[in-house]
Amino acid sequence: MTGITRPTDAIAPVALPAAGETASAARKAIALVLKRAGIADFTFEARILIEDLAADDDPIDQAAAVRLSDAVARRLAGEPLWRVLGAREFWGLSFSLSPGTLEPRPDSETLIEAALSHLALRRHERLRTLDLGTGTGCLLIATLREFPQATGLGIDLSPDAVATATGNAARNGVAERAAFRQGNWTTGIDERFDLILSNPPYIDSAEIAGLDPNVREYDPLLALDGGPDGLDAYRALAAALPGHLQPGGLAILEIGAGQEEAVLALMRQAGLRHLDSRRDLGGHIRALVFGHAP
Q: Residue 123 and residue 150: Cα distance in Å, rounded?
A: 8
Are the C-beta atoms of residues 235 and 259 closer than 8 Å to each other? no
Instruction: Say which residues have a Cβ less than 8 Å from residue 240's Cβ, sequence separation at least 6.
Output: 132, 185, 186
180 three-state secondary structure: strand
182 three-state secondary structure: strand
* DSSP tag of 125: S
Q: What is the gyration radius of the CA atoms in the chain, in angstroms?
A: 21
Which pLDDT tens digits describe the chain residue by residue (294 residues)? 344 444 444 444 555 566 778 888 889 999 999 999 999 999 999 999 999 998 766 788 888 889 999 999 999 999 999 999 999 999 999 999 999 999 999 999 999 999 999 999 999 999 999 999 999 999 999 999 999 999 999 999 999 999 999 999 999 999 999 999 999 999 999 999 999 999 999 999 999 999 998 899 999 999 999 999 999 999 999 999 999 999 999 999 999 999 999 999 999 999 999 999 999 999 999 999 999 987
Task: Spell 82-114 as b/e; 16+ CB within 10 A means b.
Answer: bbbbebbebbebebbbbebbbbbbebbbbbbbb
State residue 36's pLDDT score.
92
- pTM (2 decimals)? 0.91
Q: Residue 21 and residue 30: Cα distance in Å, rounded?
A: 12
Instruction: Say which residues have a Cβ less than 8 Å from residue 264's Cβ, sequence separation at least 6.
Output: 274, 288
Query: Rounded to the nearest 10 degrees, what angle do helices 62-76 and 23-36 cross at?
Result: 10
156 three-state secondary structure: strand
Are the C-beta atoms of residues 273 and 294 closer than 8 Å to each other? yes
* DSSP tag of 276: E
Other CB atoms within 10 Å distance of the CB of residue 63: 12
CA 177 to chain centre: 20
Which residues on neighbouring strands pair with residue 115, listed in sequence order? none
Q: Residue 259 and residue 285: Cα distance in Å, rounded?
A: 9
The total number of residues shown for the chain amounts to 294
